[in-house]
């Protein structure tokens, strides 16, 4: 019997994602002049207010207020009627240095020493599946595409839907076969903030028509939609009040959106606002890289990798693999895990060097997911390095494929 699976995404104008983007923009600003900056930056946004707090050790001078306002402006909160805008919002900053008790366990060695300790204990997960070109779960991939394309329309093709405001959410339900193969899109939920441009019935009718005509066909393959696919466009009614005025936002509150949409698993930590000495972030990227390269190499159709660390200790305390019964090699999951540790150096400093995580590259990951993104180079910086398929040949050779 077939079954359904659902994932959601949110736009860059969602309150929690505003907070993530501000935290990562501050991180990037500090890494730009001091790649060894230690940053754990949390952000809260609400009506007319941004509050930034955390622990930071850096040699950089950063105009925090300027970084915050530029980020908010880039997202699209530029009008006073939103009750939260780049020019007029209040900013409160409370930052202090990283605890020396933590720093002593994670300070780097010298020269070629890669035994920098992990910045915290915890477990991190990486996941990949071959059901989409991004090696991501289909429900999440489509959810991200919907809100990302909606933002593209708002910013660069506003004549199509001139009433759009920055806040939006999406949700996609996929029907799977007994064998776990995606069959069709069962339901699409899309809620977008909008101007107050007509009576409620007229607004809802216009928005629904535009979403179905201009948005959904761009991102959802037509062959996956049929007469039984249900559409829920702004299902609660009008959505004029949104963003931080409609709901407070916090850094790290959309960790499932950031990773795999509920497929696989998620560790205990969020990503945004943390420099790469925090394995919450760097090791999650490393396990995603492992899972993606193993699936691309044909080891399995679907893979989950878990790694765990002790604070101040460089080597992971465990690495575990699950292939959900889709393995294509004559090895146990324990044997696959052993081979992974032979191929991939999972010490924190080795991860940082492998993915060049001291670059100011994190702001772009703070909306529309940290995983499943296309690697690219801009102004000499490499973005989404953990998404590269650069270990496929090494994996094939190690597994005898």
User: Which residue among 53, 187, 248, 296 is the active-site one?
Assistant: 248
User: Which residue among 85, 167, 275, 280 is the active-site one?
Assistant: 280
User: Which residue among 108, 149, 210, 247 is the active-site one?
Assistant: 247
User: Which residue among 20, 24, 42, 302 is the active-site one?
Assistant: 42
Q: C-alpha angle 19/20/22, rounded to 5°? A: 65
User: Which residue among 83, 145, 148, 254 is the active-site one?
Assistant: 254
> Is 278 part of the annotated catalytic residue set?
yes
> Is 101 part of the annotated catalytic residue set?
no
Region of residue 13 (left: phi > 0; alpha: psi -120 to 50; beta: else): alpha
> Is 338 part of the annotated catalytic residue set?
no
> Is 248 part of the annotated catalytic residue set?
yes
> Is 349 part of the annotated catalytic residue set?
no
User: Which residue among 69, 253, 281, 288 is the active-site one?
Assistant: 253
> Is 55 part of the annotated catalytic residue set?
yes
Burial class (CB in 10 A: 0-12, 13-18, 19+), 182: middle
> Is 263 part of the annotated catalytic residue set?
no
User: Which residue among 245, 278, 349, 370 is the active-site one?
Assistant: 278
How far is the C-alpha of 306 from the C-alpha of 333, rounded, in Å?
A: 12
User: Which residue among 5, 125, 142, 239 is the active-site one?
Assistant: 239
> Is 178 part of the annotated catalytic residue set?
no
> Is 84 part of the annotated catalytic residue set?
no
> Is 214 part of the annotated catalytic residue set?
no
> Is 181 part of the annotated catalytic residue set?
no
> Is 370 part of the annotated catalytic residue set?
no
> Is 247 part of the annotated catalytic residue set?
yes
> Is 345 part of the annotated catalytic residue set?
no
List residues with catalytic annotation: 14, 16-17, 42, 55, 169, 239, 247-248, 253-254, 274, 278, 280
């Amino acid at each position: 019997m077939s079954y359904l699976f659902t994932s959601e995404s949110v736009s860059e104008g969602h309150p929690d994602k505003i907070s993530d983007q501000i935290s990562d923009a501050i991180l990037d600003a500090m890494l730009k002049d001091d790649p060894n900056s230690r940053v754990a930056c949390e952000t809260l946004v609400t009506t007319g207010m941004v509050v930034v707090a955390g622990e930071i050790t850096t040699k950089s001078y950063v105009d925090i207020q300027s970084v915050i306002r530029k980020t908010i402006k880039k997202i699209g909160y530029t009008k006073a009627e939103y009750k939260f805008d780049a020019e007029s919002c209040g900013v409160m900053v409370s930052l202090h240095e990283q605890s020396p008790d933590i720093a002593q366990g994670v300070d780097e060695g010298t020269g070629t020493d890669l035994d920098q300790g992990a910045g915290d204990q915890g477990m991190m997960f990486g996941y990949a599946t071959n059901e989409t070109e991004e090696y991501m779960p289909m429900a999440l991939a489509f959810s991200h595409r919907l809100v990302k394309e909606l933002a593209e329309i708002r910013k660069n093709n506003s004549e199509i839907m001139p009433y759009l405001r920055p806040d939006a959410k999406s949700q996609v339900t996929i029907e799977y076969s007994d064998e776990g193969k995606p069959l069709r899109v069962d339901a699409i939920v899309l809620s977008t903030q909008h101007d107050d441009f007509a009576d409620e019935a007229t607004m809802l009718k216009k928005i629904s028509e535009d979403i179905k005509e201009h948005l959904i066909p761009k991102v959802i393959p037509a062959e996956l939609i049929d007469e039984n696919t249900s559409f829920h466009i702004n299902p609660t009614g009008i959505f004029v009040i949104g963003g931080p005025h409609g709901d407070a936002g916090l850094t790290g509150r959309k960790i499932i959106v950031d990773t795999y949409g509920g497929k696989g698993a998620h560790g205990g930590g969020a990503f945004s606002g943390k420099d790469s000495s925090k394995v919450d972030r760097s090791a999650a990227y490393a396990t995603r890289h492992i899972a993606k390269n193993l699936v691309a190499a044909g080891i399995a159709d679907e893979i989950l990798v878990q790694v765990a660390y002790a604070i101040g200790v460089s080597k992971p305390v465990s690495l575990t693999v699950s292939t959900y019964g889709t393995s294509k090699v004559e090895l146990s999951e324990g044997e696959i895990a052993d081979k992974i540790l032979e191929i991939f150096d999972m010490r924190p400093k080795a991860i940082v060097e492998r993915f060049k995580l001291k670059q100011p590259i994190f702001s772009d990951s703070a909306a529309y997911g940290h995983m499943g993104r296309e690697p690219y180079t801009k102004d000499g910086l490499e973005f989404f390095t953990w998404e590269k398929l650069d270990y496929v040949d090494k994996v094939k050779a190690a597994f005898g494929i």
